[in-house]
Amino acid sequence: MRSFLIHWLFTGVALAVATHFVPGIVVSSTAALVFGALVLGLVNAIVRPVLVVLTLPITVVTIGLFYLIVNGVAFALAAGLVPGFAVASFGAAIVGALAVSFVSFLLNWLLRPTPSSSDGGRAAPGV
């Protein structure tokens, strides 16, 4: 449950950053931001995998570039389901999905758990 809440918080922060920096993405209130982050997480967990499987042939033909379209569709779908969360164009949805993905990745990387004291204070390999 704690992991879910942390992921939800990171998605909310990433959505707020995308709203600030990507023209065409509007979140009208904090409630819409919180609900938008929740719906975006659910769409990414449930709908996007189905879209990925259905569009796999065209994604392979385009060497993975069509995956950007799939992410944009998922982002636009989440915006369409949440009152107060709007995307002006499909291009804004694609850039917004990229921004949310990038900021979420950075937050997960920067704020990853530190090694526990049970390992004798040694850091994990590669860290």
Burial of 78 (0-12, 13-18, 19+ CB in 10 A): buried
Q: What percent of the chain has pLDDT over 90?
A: 80
Tell me if 78 is assigned to some domain: yes
- Whole-number pLDDT of residue 48: 92
- Whole-number pLDDT of residue 112: 81
Tell me if 72 is assigned to some domain: yes
Could you read off the pLDDT of 32-70 as tens digits, one per residue?
A: 999 999 999 999 999 999 999 999 999 999 999 999 999
Tell me if 19 is assigned to some domain: yes
Q: Cα dist. 28→2, 25, 92, 120 in Å?
A: 27, 10, 16, 48
Tell me if 118 is assigned to some domain: no
Tell me if 53 is assigned to some domain: yes
- Whole-number pLDDT of residue 23: 96
The residue whose two tokens read 């990387």 is: 109
Domain membership of residue 63 as a residue range: 2-112
Tell me if 117 is assigned to some domain: no
Tell me if 123 is assigned to some domain: no
Tell me if 108 is assigned to some domain: yes
Provide the domain count of the chain: 1
